[in-house]
C-alpha cells in the first residue's frame, strides 16, 4: 500500500502520480484482512468454535459475499470487521491497521468509516426518516447545514425523496432498508457491511435492494461485504464469494467459478435450490444399462470456459433441458441433451457426462 | 355542605396536588437516571458494572418492600434533616418521593430493557458513544413505556398521599379520615371519593393519550 491513503468521499485522486487520470488511481481505502482469525464462544453447552483459522483479504472496491448455513460463523466474521464482536484469536486489519488495539475513541472513528445494514433494518421508531439518517452526523458533530445537505444527498441516492418526515412504521420493508442504507452511507464510509440485508424482503424488493447496492458500489467505489444464506443473492451482486462451513473456509473464489465448479459439498448443497433437476419424464425413465435403440442422456456443464459450439448440438441431438446464465460475463449452467448411442459424449465437450439412457420411442 | 367545608376540601385538594406533583417530579428526576443505571450496568448493558448493579438492585428492592405507612414513620429523622420539620405538606413529600422513585425506576427499567438490542447494535455501528446510545436510542425508544409507567406511578402516589395525614400533611385523605370517618360526615366522605376518582381518571386518560400518540408514529 502506498502512503496515499485517501480519506473522504467522493474519493479524490489523493497524491497519485499526475500522469494517471484520477479514476484509474488504485484506491487503498476499504481493504479488510483476516489473519488467523478465530472465535470461541462459551455457551451453556460448553465451548463453541464459531470461527477457526480464517486467512483472507477483501480487496478495496469489491463486493465480497460470505455464504454459509446458519451457524456457519458468517455473522461473527462480518461483525469482527467493525468489532461489534471481538475475535478470540488472530487479527483483523482494516486498511492495514490492526483494529484490536483501538480504544473507545479509535473504535468510534473506525465505525464511522464502516457502514452497516441489518436484516431487520434496526431503525429508530421514535425518529423520522430524516432524523434516522442524520443521526450518524449528529453524533459526529457535523454542522447542521452540511448535515442537512448530506442527508438530502443520500436520500436522493437511495430513492427516498418525499419520505423525509415519515416514521419508519409507515414504510414498506424495502423502503426501511433504503433508510438503513442511507444511514450507513451518510458518513461516507469506505466499507459497507450487509448483515442478511435482504433476508426479510420479498424477491422483487430483494432484487431492487441488490441493484441499489451494486449501483452504490459502482458510483461510490466503496467495498461491500455481505452475508447471506441465499446463493441467488451472491450471484446477483458479488464479485467473489467465501463459503463458510462450521467456522472454516470451505472455498473461495470468483462467483462464476464457484457457481460453475463448486468444489465443496457445502457449496453444492447451497447451490442445490438453484439447480433444476432433470425433467421428470426423463428422470423417471432413466436407466443405466442401455437397451437396443435407447438414446443417451448427456449433460453438458457450462463452466464459463469451455462452452461447446452450438453447431455440435445440431447433429441429431435433442435438447431436453437448458439452464445457462451469465455470471460476471461467463455462461454458467448446464445443457441436457439426448444423443444416439455410439456418440462419444467427449466429442461434444471435454466436460460432458453421460447420465444414463432412455427409450427413444416417446 | 357548609362553605367552610368546601374551603377545607379545596385546600385539601391543592395540598394533595402539591404533594403528588412535587414527589412525582422527584421520582422522574431521580427514577429515570436510576433506571438507566440499572439497565446499562447490568449484564450485557453498555456500561457493565455488576457490583454497582447488585447494590442498586438491592437498595431498590429494600425500599419497595417497606409499606408506605411504615416508611413514612421510619423516615421521620431523615425528613426532619431535609425539610427541618416532620409535619406538613413538605414533610410528606420526602417519604412520598423516596417511595415513588424506586417504584418508578423499576417500571422504567422494564421499558428500557425492552428496547431492541438490534437498535443498540445499529447505534454502535454508526459510531455512537455509550452516552449517545442512552440519549438517542434507549430513552427515546423507551419513552412510550416510561410515560405509561409514570402514569401508574402517579396514580399509586395519589393513593399513598392519603396516608400523609398521619404526619399532619393534610390533603384529601386526611379530610376524609378526620371528617368523613371520625365525625361520620358521609357527604364529606363521598365528596373526597368523587374528587379522587376524577383526579385519577384525568391522570390516567392524559397518560394513555400521550402513550397512544407516541406509539401511533
Q: Give ipTM to 2 decimals.
A: 0.87
Say if residue B4 is exposed, middle or buried (CB neighbours under 10 Å; 0-12, 13-18, 19+): exposed
Q: Determine whether the interchain pair B126/A120 forms a contact, defined as Cβ–Cβ distance below 8 Å.
A: no
Nearest to B125 among A84, A109, A169 (CB): A84
- B168-188 burial code (b ≥16 CB/10 A, e <16): ebbbbbbbbbbbbeeeebeeb
Instruction: List per-residue pLDDT tens for chain A, 362 residues long.
Output: 443 333 334 443 333 333 333 443 444 589 999 999 999 988 888 888 899 999 999 999 999 999 998 888 999 999 999 999 999 999 999 999 999 999 999 999 999 999 999 999 999 999 999 999 999 999 999 999 999 999 999 999 999 999 999 999 999 999 999 999 999 999 999 999 999 999 999 999 999 999 999 999 999 999 999 999 999 999 999 999 999 999 999 999 999 999 988 999 999 999 988 888 888 888 888 999 988 888 999 988 888 765 566 666 667 788 888 888 888 888 888 889 888 888 888 888 888 889 999 988 65
Q: Phi and psi at residue A107, in whole multiples of 5°?
A: -65, -40
Of B126, B129, B143, the CB nearest to A183: B126
Chain A residue with the nearest C-alpha to that of B132:
A139
Strands A295-303 and A353-358 come out as antiparallel
DSSP B167: G
Q: What is the pTM of this model?
A: 0.85
The grid coordinates of residue A250 equal 470451505
Nearest CA in chain A to B125: A111
Nearest partner of A187 among B131, B118, B125, B121, judged by Cα:
B125
DSSP, res B42: S
State whether B124 and A169 contact (CB < 8 Å).
Answer: no
Does residue A10 have a cis bond before it (omega within 30 degrees)? yes
Backbone angles phi, psi at A250, to 5 degrees: -85, -50
Taking residue A148's Cβ as centre, other Cβ atoms within 10 Å add up to 14
Amino acid at each position: 500500500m502506498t502512503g496515499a491513503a485517501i480519506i473522504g468521499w467522493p474519493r479524490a485522486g489523493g497524491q497519485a502520480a499526475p500522469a494517471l487520470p484520477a479514476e484509474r488511481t488504485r484506491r487503498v481505502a476499504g481493504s479488510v484482512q483476516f489473519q488467523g482469525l478465530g472465535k470461541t464462544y462459551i455457551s451453556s453447552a460448553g465451548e463453541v468454535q464459531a470461527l477457526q483459522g480464517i486467512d483472507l483479504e477483501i480487496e478495496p472496491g469489491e463486493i465480497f459475499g460470505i455464504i454459509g448455513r446458519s451457524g456457519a460463523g458468517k455473522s461473527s466474521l462480518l461483525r469482527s470487521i467493525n468489532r461489534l464482536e471481538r475475535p478470540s484469536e488472530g487479527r483483523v486489519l482494516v486498511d492495514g491497521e490492526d483494529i484490536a488495539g483501538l480504544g473507545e475513541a479509535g473504535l468510534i472513528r473506525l465505525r464511522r468509516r464502516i457502514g452497516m445494514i441489518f436484516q431487520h433494518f434496526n431503525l429508530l421508531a421514535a425518529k423520522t426518516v430524516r432524523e434516522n439518517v442524520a443521526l450518524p452526523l449528529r453524533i459526529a458533530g457535523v454542522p447542521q447545514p452540511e448535515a442537512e445537505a448530506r442527508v438530502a444527498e443520500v436520500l436522493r441516492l437511495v430513492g427516498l425523496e418525499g419520505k423525509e418526515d415519515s416514521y419508519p412504521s409507515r414504510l414498506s420493508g424495502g423502503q426501511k432498508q433504503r433508510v438503513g442504507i442511507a444511514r450507513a452511507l451518510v458518513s461516507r464510509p469506505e466499507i459497507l457491511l450487509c448483515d442478511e440485508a435482504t433476508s426479510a424482503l420479498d424477491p422483487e424488493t430483494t432484487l431492487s435492494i441488490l441493484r441499489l447496492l451494486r449501483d452504490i458500489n459502482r458510483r461510490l467505489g466503496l467495498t461491500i461485504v455481505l452475508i447471506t444464506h441465499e446463493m441467488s443473492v451472491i450471484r446477483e451482486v458479488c464479485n467473489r464469494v467465501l463459503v463458510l462451513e462450521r467456522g472454516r473456509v470451505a472455498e473461495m473464489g470468483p462467483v462464476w467459478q464457484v457457481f460453475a465448479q463448486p468444489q465443496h459439498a457445502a457449496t453444492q448443497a447451497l447451490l442445490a435450490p438453484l439447480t433444476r433437476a432433470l425433467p421428470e419424464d426423463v428422470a423417471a425413465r432413466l436407466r443405466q444399462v442401455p437397451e437396443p435403440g435407447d438414446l443417451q442422456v448427456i449433460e453438458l456443464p457450462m463452466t464459463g470456459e469451455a462452452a461447446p459450439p452450438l453447431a455440435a448440438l445440431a447433429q441429431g441431438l435433442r435438447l431436453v433441458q437448458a439452464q445457462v446464465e451469465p455470471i460476471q460475463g461467463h455462461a454458467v449452467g448446464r445443457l441436457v441433451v439426448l444423443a444416439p448411442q455410439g456418440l462419444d459424449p467427449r466429442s461434444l465437450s471435454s466436460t460432458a457426462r453421460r447420465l444414463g439412457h432412455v427409450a427413444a420411442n416417446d | 355542605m357548609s362553605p367552610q367545608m368546601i374551603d377545607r376540601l379545596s385546600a385539601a385538594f391543592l395540598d394533595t396536588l402539591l404533594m403528588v406533583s412535587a414527589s412525582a417530579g422527584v421520582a422522574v428526576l431521580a427514577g429515570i437516571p436510576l433506571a438507566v443505571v440499572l439497565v446499562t450496568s447490568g449484564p450485557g448493558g453498555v456500561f457493565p458494572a455488576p457490583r454497582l448493579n447488585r447494590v442498586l438492585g438491592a437498595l431498590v428492592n429494600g425500599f419497595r418492600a417497606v409499606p408506605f405507612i411504615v416508611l413514612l414513620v421510619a423516615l421521620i429523622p431523615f425528613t426532619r434533616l431535609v425539610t427541618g420539620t416532620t409535619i406538613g405538606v413538605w414533610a410528606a413529600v420526602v417519604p412520598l418521593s423516596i417511595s415513588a422513585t424506586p417504584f418508578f425506576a423499576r417500571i422504567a427499567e422494564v421499558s428500557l430493557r425492552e428496547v431492541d438490542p438490534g437498535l443498540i447494535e445499529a447505534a454502535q455501528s454508526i459510531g455512537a458513544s455509550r452516552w449517545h446510545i442512552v440519549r438517542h436510542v434507549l430513552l427515546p425508544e423507551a419513552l412510550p413505556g416510561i410515560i405509561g409507567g409514570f402514569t401508574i406511578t402517579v396514580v399509586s402516589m395519589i393513593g399513598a398521599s392519603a396516608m400523609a395525614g398521619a404526619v399532619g400533611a393534610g390533603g384529601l385523605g386526611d379530610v376524609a379520615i378526620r371528617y368523613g370517618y371520625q365525625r361520620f360526615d358521609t357527604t364529606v366522605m363521598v365528596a373526597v371519593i368523587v374528587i379522587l376518582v376524577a383526579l385519577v381518571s384525568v391522570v390516567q386518560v392524559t397518560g394513555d393519550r400521550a402513550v397512544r400518540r407516541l406509539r401511533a408514529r
